[in-house]
Structure 1
């Protein structure tokens, strides 16, 4: 992608990415926003945490 810069660590692994503001605005609009949906996920700020908590409710030691 044009304008995208990668930041590497001393081992050559990608540690960060710098993207132009125009691209960020486009990508940001495509991110999942649970508040747009109805049900248990509406209003959740940390969806990953909520999903882990729901999973823990159903895990059983049979």
Structure 2
């Protein structure tokens, strides 16, 4: 792809990539953003903590 630059280490392995801003914006649109799908948890700052609390509500010793 035009405009993409690769950064190599001394062994020839790719260590990084420089991506033009226009391409990054296109790619970023396709990245999954959980905040769009959290529903009632949308306003929570710590989603992992909220999910742990939810899990604790359903775990029972029968």
Q: TM-score, normalised by structure 2?
A: 0.59
Aligned residues: 50
Matched residue, 1:2: 2
Structure 2 portions without partners, runs of 5+ = 56-62
RMSD of equivalent CA atoms = 2.8
- Taking structure 1 as the reference length, the TM-score comes to 0.59
**Unaligned ranges ≥5, structure 1:** 58-62
Please identify which structure carries the higher helix content: 2
Separation in structure 2 between the aligned mates of residue 12 and residue 46 of structure 1, nearest angstrom? 40
2:20 is matched with which residue?
20
Radius of gyration: which is bigger?
2
What pairs up with 1:1-62 in 2 under 5 angstroms? 1-38=1-38, 42=42, 50=48
